[in-house]
Chain A
Amino acid sequence: MISEETKTLIQPIIERALHQPDRLVLVFVHEDGMQERVSAGEFYREAGLFADSLRNQGLGVDDLVIVVLKHSRELLSAFWGSLLLGSIVSIFPYLTEKLDPQLYMERVKTLVANEGARAVITFPEFKDDLSNLLSNVDCRVISTDDVLGGPKHTGDGFVPSGEFQADKIAFLQHSSGTTGLQKGVALSHVSVLNQIRSLSQALHLSTTDKVISWLPLYHDMGLIGGFVLPIVAGIPLILLSPFHWVRDPKILFTYAAEHHATLTWLPNFAFNHCVRGIRRSDIQTLDLSSLRALISCSEPVRRDSFELFLNRFQEQGIQQGMLQASYALAENTFAATQTVPGELPFYDWIDIKSLQIEKYAKPVVPESEGSFPMVSNGKAIPGTEVAIAGPDGKHLPDRFTGEIILRSNCMLTGYYHRPELTEQVMIEGWFHSGDIGYIADGNVYVSGRMKDMIIVGGKNVFPQDLEAIANTITGVHPGRVVAFGVDDIKLGSEGVIMVCEVDADHLSEQEKKRIESDIRQRIVRETEVVLKELRLVDERWLIKTSSGKIARNDNREKYLRIFNY
């Protein structure tokens, strides 16, 4: 679909605009349900307006542009406009009702300062605040009105100044976490093109496919699977708003049915959200049989979520062979593995004890006592090699668990402006993922992770960030807080538990309530994380390490034991 001559992500966009200007690129669905069909010619022209505007403001090749826009046509155009100009672009998550606006703006500022961004593109309502905040930094704040309200462009529109090298950085994908822990994964044109070629092959992509996505574009799954891949490969995309889908998950189905979509990517919790949040009366007559792959990725894939989803939506035409899985990570652009579309989900029943104690995934009779169904994420996609490394770095044989490592032709160039972090994870040409898993007959299974990170609804959460917030609340003993993840079957994801030491014996019930409410509110306003449970415990409840630090895993075990999880 993408010729071997294609060297950059913008070539296919320019060529289609030139030779097939009327070809459908995407159906953009606004939050109010209004749909706009965008052709290749129009798509290029709109992106060109942003490229022009950036160029007029003195921006050029390799300047970093941060896009702070919500679901809108402008978001898409600002991204591609920056690419057309040869700038490096990154999409920043948009402000939500839950976040504290002041803190949010501060975060944009920190990112701009840390990474040396030269421009921020945002809506007019943010322009003044951001301009004030960034007045001491060499960074322009450009509003969408500045771009679209200027003199109307006529004629041929934007003309690129020249060709870029294929190994030039195209964009950054930012990991979550507060700014100290945040990393910008820098990806080159050639890496992204290689990912698109390999994944297209693994998914048997053809021009009859149509992708539908509600995923946010600041995360690899939404950015690559739900945006860059269809646009570059020339497959029509039906793009929905993440906020809209959260509120009303049926829209994924209603628009998929209307447009006969064939592919979509979903984090595991989304399968549960569809089951729990869609009203039967809304979807009775829908036909979803056009979908050939619903690909679960970006958090551990669960058999029970697949089964729930299948049982609930069988009447609408959902079948087992549509349920697919992939192991993906931003550092490999996106997918590292992929199951084969049309094939049934593959479950590897293993003995839990062997996995925990011997670090060996011992196959057992399905559903037997002490067994657990691991869901296969499929095999490595072409161009990517996956292996498992032991603590000494040596590669382990089949079924032994260790760190998942990979090397590929779609690997990150590096963490942007953080060479020391890149060195830590690239060892002898292999990227060390920090995820734990095993391989059996080429199939990759993920069983845990080395980092303390918690994945809640597809979003990575760092317990350190949450603990730091709780530490500042009056009544909590500073430094005597722990946060960790536990399995949440209903959610189909992890839930965050927090345990805080307080002076429990001397506090009134009212005071305890105040502490709980303060912690919950501060955490949601700063991180959007909702704690599944918050326990206020007495002094000396938490276990410390010999060096005096709070032992996160030991406390997690203690919590599970005492509160009978």
Chain B
Amino acid sequence: MDRNEVITKLKAYICSELLNNADYPIMIDQPLITGGLMDSFSLAQIGVFVEDAFGVYIPDTDLTVNNMDTLNLMADEVIERAG
């Protein structure tokens, strides 16, 4: 699975669906939850999106702020499971 593609898709989803601004300039290492951009409720939604978009199931125990605070961290979680 191509890392850039994963990040691009995650970013597009997060900006349009969760931040309500498709052009929001988020960087790959920007803390989204602890930075006050995204609520921790969003993690469950990202879990749903990741399953639909990449066919990857991130167990809820890994859908935590520590594991998912930036685009890079999220991409790690996805790619690791995609094998």
Report A's interface with B, CB cutoff 8 A: 32, 97-98, 244, 246-251, 273, 276-279, 281, 457, 490, 513, 517, 519-525, 530-533
Q: Decide: A277 near B36, CB < 8 A? Known: A97-B65, A97-B66, A247-B64.
A: no
Which of A276, A521, A522, A533 is within 8 Å of B44, CB to CB?
A276
Q: Mark B33-49, 1 if CB is under 8 A from A, else 0.
A: 11111111101110110
Report B's interface with A, CB cutoff 8 A: 17, 20-21, 25, 33-41, 43-45, 47-48, 51, 57, 60-61, 63-66
Q: Are A273 and B41 in contact (CB under 8 A)?
A: yes
The chain B residue sitting closest to A531, CB to CB, is B36
Min distance, Cβ A178 to any Cβ of chain B, angstroms: 17
Give Cα distance in the complex from A250 to B36, angstroms. 25
The chain A residue sitting closest to B58, CB to CB, is A279
Q: Decide: A524 near B44, CB < 8 A? Known: A32-B61, A247-B60, A248-B63.
A: no
The chain B residue sitting closest to A526, CB to CB, is B36
Give Cα distance in the complex from A32 to B20, angstroms. 33
- Which B residues touch A273, using CB under 8 A? 41, 44
Q: Are A247 and B40 in contact (CB under 8 A)?
A: yes
Which of A244, A249, A278, A521 is within 8 Å of B36, CB to CB?
A521
Q: Are B36 and A523 in contact (CB under 8 A)?
A: yes
Q: Are B35 and A247 in contact (CB under 8 A)?
A: no
Give Cα distance in the complex from A523 to B34, angstroms. 10
Give Cα distance in the complex from A244 to B44, angstroms. 10
Which of A98, A279, A519 is within 8 Å of B47, CB to CB?
A279
Give Cα distance in the complex from A416 to B36, angstroms. 33
- A524-B34, A524-B36 given; name 10 further pairs at CB < 8 Å: A248-B63, A276-B44, A276-B48, A277-B41, A277-B44, A277-B48, A490-B17, A490-B20, A520-B37, A521-B35
Min distance, Cβ A254 to any Cβ of chain B, angstroms: 11
Give Cα distance in the complex from A531 to B48, angstroms. 23
Q: Are B41 and A98 in contact (CB under 8 A)?
A: no
The chain A residue sitting closest to B18, CB to CB, is A490
- Which A residues touch B21, using CB under 8 A? 533
Q: Are A97 and B20 in contact (CB under 8 A)?
A: no
Q: Are A98 and B37 in contact (CB under 8 A)?
A: no
- Which A residues touch B39, using CB under 8 A? 457, 530
The chain B residue sitting closest to A527, CB to CB, is B36
Min distance, Cβ A191 to any Cβ of chain B, angstroms: 33
Q: Are B44 and A249 in contact (CB under 8 A)?
A: yes
Give Cα distance in the complex from A530 to B60, angstroms. 22
Q: Are B64 and A98 in contact (CB under 8 A)?
A: no
Q: Decide: A247 near B44, CB < 8 A? Known: A281-B51, A533-B20.
A: yes
Q: Decide: A517 near B35, CB < 8 A? Known: A98-B40, A277-B41, A533-B20.
A: yes
Give Cα distance in the complex from A304 to B75, angstroms. 34
- Which A residues touch B48, using CB under 8 A? 276-279
Which of B36, B51, B61 is within 8 Å of A520, CB to CB?
B36
Enumerate 28 A-B pairs (CB-CB under 8 Å) in ascending A order: A32-B61, A97-B40, A97-B66, A98-B40, A246-B41, A247-B44, A247-B63, A248-B60, A248-B63, A276-B44, A276-B45, A277-B41, A277-B45, A277-B48, A278-B44, A279-B47, A279-B48, A279-B51, A281-B51, A457-B41, A520-B35, A522-B36, A523-B36, A525-B34, A530-B36, A530-B37, A530-B39, A533-B21
The winner among A250, A277, A522, A531 for most chain B CB atoms within 10 A is A277
Give Cα distance in the complex from A524 to B36, angstroms. 5
Q: Are B60 and A98 in contact (CB under 8 A)?
A: no
Min distance, Cβ A466 to any Cβ of chain B, angstroms: 11
Q: Are B40 and A246 in contact (CB under 8 A)?
A: yes
Give Cα distance in the complex from A524 to B66, angstroms. 16
The chain B residue sitting closest to A277, CB to CB, is B44
Min distance, Cβ B4 to any Cβ of chain A, angstroms: 23
- Which A residues touch B25, using CB under 8 A? 513
Give Cα distance in the complex from A523 to B40, angstroms. 15
Give Cα distance in the complex from A513 to B48, angstroms. 30
- Which B residues touch A248, using CB under 8 A? 44, 47, 60, 63
- Which A residues touch B60, using CB under 8 A? 244, 247-248, 250-251
- Which B residues touch A97, using CB under 8 A? 33-34, 40, 65-66
- Which B residues touch A533, using CB under 8 A? 20-21
- Which B residues touch A524, using CB under 8 A? 34-36
Give Cα distance in the complex from A32 to B61, angstroms. 8
- Which B residues touch A249, using CB under 8 A? 44
- Which B residues touch A517, using CB under 8 A? 35
Give Cα distance in the complex from A519 to B35, angstroms. 9
Min distance, Cβ B2 to any Cβ of chain A, angstroms: 24
The winner among B21, B35, B44 for most chain A CB atoms within 10 A is B44
Give Cα distance in the complex from A517 to B30, angstroms. 10
- Which A residues touch B34, using CB under 8 A? 97-98, 521, 524-525
The chain A residue sitting closest to B60, CB to CB, is A248
